[in-house]
Amino acid sequence: MVVRIDLAIKPTPVQFLRKVSAEYGFDLYIKRDDLTELLGSGNKIRKLEYLMGDALKQGATTIFTSGGLQSNHARATAYVSRKLGLKPVLFLRKGEKVLNGNLLLDMLFGAEIVEVSSEEYENIDEIFLEYKKEKEKRGEKVYIIPEGGSNALGALGYFNMVMELKDQIDVESFEAIVCAVGSGGTIAGISAALSFLGYRVPVIGVNVTTKNADYFVEKVKKIVRDMGKLGVEAKEPRFEIVDSFRGPAYAVPSDEDVNVIKEIATKEAIVLDPVYTSKAFRGTLEMFRSSGKRILFVHTGGIFGVFAQSGRLV
């Protein structure tokens, strides 16, 4: 039986971006999942409602997960773990260590941080198992959450987001729903829910990683298939992965991304992040400029990443 614990502040609002819509020539709405919580803000906490529910059901004492040094998912996992009385262990890719943003919060929550090289990260599952054996020798019970919380269980969080959304606005009035893609769970949950409901609205995922679109197409399809084992009977989901707005590198915004962050903050008083949502939002503006279409953008959060890259933004 799937167990969900209530962690996020829901429902998050849907807002019409009047100024941006007028300037770019299409009707742009935004689902404010940057407002799901404070310290747990963003899309990850919806996934953690199911993943942490399962961890508690299994009697876990310690949570393992992974990501970059400024991972939103790692920060949200550390926060929720402490909130539930569990010990967070974060396996983070080595990089420029800025003691600000998500990493600062990880440290404040007292998370155990294991830094791994990019090469080691390619075999993160093996590293998890090695550390798990050591922890369990000491009497701990380890529960492993994949990067981004992106498996079938985590994707249920975004399946439920669509159920929430349909009670807020006419979902079928949109010609596309757009979100950032970093690990695939969010777009999998959204596309599965739309398919389940019989809606024909396509989902466009803006890839912000070094992996290509083909990789994510296969990963998303697998997550949706696995959701079927949890009782979600989705037909073939309608989604597309776009590679054109990845910028110079993962977690490195282009000058255009930086300008979008500043523009949207000034015009709409909404803060995008430099890793995910700025790239996805820029993609949305460029893909639908002057189209006259009605588009929904899912703001997946990441505000703490702004503080870690303040030098680029101000």
Q: How far is CA 228 from the centre of its chain?
A: 21
Active site residue 71: yes
Cα separation, 249 vs 19, whole angstroms: 30
Task: Take residue 113 and report the two structure tokens written for it.
Answer: 């941080």
Cis peptide before 11 (omega within 30 of 0): yes
Q: Specify whether the CB–CB gap between 263 and 58 falls below 8 A.
A: no
Q: How far is CA 14 from the centre of its chain?
A: 18
Cα separation, 41 vs 213, whole angstroms: 27
Q: Which own/partner pairs from 77-83 qualify as long-range (CB within 8 Å, at least 24 positions apart)?
A: 77/44, 77/48, 77/145, 77/149, 78/105, 78/106, 78/109, 78/111, 79/39, 79/40, 79/105, 79/109, 80/7, 80/40, 80/45, 80/48, 80/52, 81/52, 81/109, 81/111, 82/109, 82/110, 83/7, 83/40
Cα separation, 54 vs 57, whole angstroms: 5
Annotated catalytic residue: which of 21, 41, 66, 71?
71
Could you list the active site residues? Answer: 71
